[in-house]
Amino acid sequence: MASEKLGPFRLAPWFSPRPWGRKDLRPWYAATGTTEPVGEAWLTGPESVVETGAFAGRTLAAVAAEAGEALLGAAGGAEFPLLVKLLFPNDKLSVQVHPDDAQAQAMGQPRGKTECWYVLEAEPGAKIALGMKQGATVEGVRAAISAGTMEEWMEWVPVQVGDMVFVDAGTVHAIGPGVVLLETQQTSDTTFRMYDYGRPRELHVEPALRVMKLKTAAGKVQPKKMDGFVRLIEQKYFVVDRYEVGEECEAVIPIAEAGCLVGLKGLGAVESGGVEPVELLPGRAVVVPAEVGEVVVRSNAGAEFVRCWAP
């Protein structure tokens, strides 16, 4: 099977229950398969199951293991490089921090976790926490965690629909309720929970303080108008581009790196020579293998989507 041309394929989301999540994810998803609150829909997680094509029923991890070069390119390794999620906070997420590559590898992990958030929905007054206020120190943060005053030391930033936020590894961060975010990150789940508002969950204070950076490159990113699309962010580990396809129109996208298309609004069809077109749906990822060279996205009634890829 790996010797056949590997065309684009759609993944079913994998739903992760979280105490801060929601039970109702409509209009994104009619059902999640659980009665628990869901905080995250993993669109390109290792356990996400292929819905279309020759690998239907297999996990993304299995496809990467069997057809790695076709999927990821000659130098792409053996794991899909990006974990793309939808986040649905109904309450504040814990205050947390992620290590960078060097820190993670010193702990025996393959990589760190740098990420970004694209705001898809935001209620009035919605905020995220991004970094520490000026004057913060490691000892001061430790004391604030013990005293229950951690929130007072964090920079709370208002967000609205269309904002792109870069979350550099080492940035202390949290997400408030009232938003839906598209998160694109390195494929890693290494997270140190520093503070959780008194909820009875395990904290990782000392590891968090070791990887925390008091100053990082985190912040809002201004979009750039390109030829036929908008570049939302371009960083070492990922690029995210937004496309809008009008009625009876198409977008031609050259492909040289592994990545995916994520539907946001409307319906589209992802076409690549010699293989069956794949329907692009809101809240679903269509993985585009590095070997395809080019895809065309067509829509009869208009569609909006993003391309997330590893440079």
Q: Which residues are catalytic?
A: 193
- DSSP readout, 61-75? HHHHHHSHHHHH-TT
Contacts of residue 54, defined as CB under 8 A and 6 or more positions apart, other chains included, come to 1, 4, 6
CA 168 to chain centre: 13
The CB density around residue 196, as the number of other CB atoms within 10 Å, is 20
In angstroms, the CA 106 to CA 190 distance is: 13
Which residues, at least 6 apart from 176, have a Cβ–Cβ distance to it below 8 Å? 89, 92, 93, 126, 127, 128, 129, 156
The answer to whether 303 and 249 have CB atoms below 8 angstroms apart is: no
Q: Which two tokens stand for residue 101?
A: 């590559």
Look at the alpha carbons of 132, 170, 183, 43 in this order and tell me if their dihedral is positive or negative: negative
229 vs 252: CA distance, rounded Å:
10
Asked if residue 116 lies in contact with residue 173, where contact means CB atoms within 8 angstroms, the answer is no
Long-range interactions of 273-276: CB distance < 8 A, separation 24+: 274/5, 274/7, 275/5, 275/7, 275/8, 275/53, 276/7, 276/52, 276/53
3-state secondary structure of 280: strand
